């Protein structure tokens, strides 16, 4: 049984019960997987970490941590805003990769169009 005061265990339960990939979560939070595992093992976590994860996985931690949060902290507006920031960041990342690929492709085409002697 999970210890009710162990922050990391409660966090892990919330993440795993939603079937969220740790790799995806780490990418969305801009941390590595080891950091996620360290958080799971930690008996106490900063309020900001729990809040970021709650918004990211769409989980209201006010039941587990009423001393830190209210249901209003995880309202739909805040979750939508958090998820839109993640989506915008991912879109920009893919756009940058696409532009880089196009530039390299154009360079290759221009090199191939030079007549060989």
Express each pLDDT in 47-95 by its tens digit: 999 999 998 898 899 989 999 998 888 876 555 445 544 455 455 666 7
Report the domain count for the chain. Answer: 1
What does the DSSP 8-state code read for residue 74?
A: G
Domain containing 67 equals: 7-112
Look at residue 2 and tell me if it is in a domain.
Answer: no
**CA dist., res. 98 & res. 55, Å (int):** 29
Look at residue 117 and tell me if it is in a domain.
Answer: no
CA dist 33 → 29, 71, 93, 115 (Å): 10, 28, 20, 50
Look at residue 1 and tell me if it is in a domain.
Answer: no
Look at residue 100 and tell me if it is in a domain.
Answer: yes
Residue of 29, 31, 87, 34 lying closest to 54 (CA atoms): 29
Look at residue 74 and tell me if it is in a domain.
Answer: yes
- Note the pTM of the prediction, 2 decimals: 0.61
- As given in the structure block, the two tokens for residue 91 are 């879109």
């Amino acid at each position: 049984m999970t210890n009710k005061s162990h922050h990391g265990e409660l966090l892990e339960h919330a993440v795993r019960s939603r079937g969220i990939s740790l790799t995806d979560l780490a990418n969305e939070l801009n941390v590595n997987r080891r950091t996620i595992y360290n958080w799971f093992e930690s008996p106490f976590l900063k309020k900001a970490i729990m809040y970021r994860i709650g918004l990211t996985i769409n989980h209201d931690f006010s039941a587990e941590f009423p001393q830190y949060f209210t249901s209003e902290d995880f309202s739909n507006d805040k979750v939508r805003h958090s998820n839109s920031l993640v989506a915008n960041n991912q879109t920009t990342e893919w756009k940058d990769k696409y532009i880089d690929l196009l530039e390299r492709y154009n360079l290759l085409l221009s090199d191939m169009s030079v007549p060989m002697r």
